[in-house]
Amino acid sequence: MDKKKTKKKKDEKELPGDPAYPAKDDIYNHEKEEEYVEDDEAVKDLDIPGSELDDPDEAIGEEDEENNYYSLGGEDHEDLEEDKS
């Protein structure tokens, strides 16, 4: 019985597909660690036309986000830029 257990442990160590080089040479272990960026910081860099028009209201908490031009959702808004006069 001991031979079977020993052979099983040997088989577990020698898996097919294991690299034939040391782990320190593995290119996937050399990935650059990047600093985590908060979502708020990333959003500040976005260039959204018209978003700066409501900054004073946003500062005091009275922004009406759903009525902003860039926030209108749905499929029936192809006419947003047409002059209806």
Tens of pLDDT, residues 32-84: 777 876 766 666 667 777 777 777 777 777 766 666 666 666 666 666 666 66
Residue 44 lies in a domain: yes
Residue 22 has pLDDT above 60, yes or no: yes
**Rounded to two decimals, what is the model's pTM?**
0.21
Asked if 44 and 63 count as a contact pair (C-beta separation under 8 A), the reply is: no
Question: Domain range spanning residue 54?
Answer: 37-71
Count up the domains in the chain and report the number.
1
Residue 18 lies in a domain: no
Residue 67 lies in a domain: yes
Asked if 73 and 66 count as a contact pair (C-beta separation under 8 A), the reply is: no
Q: What is the pLDDT of residue 73?
A: 63
Residue 62 lies in a domain: yes
Instruction: Quote the CA–CA distance of 55 and 61 in Å, as a whole number.
Output: 10
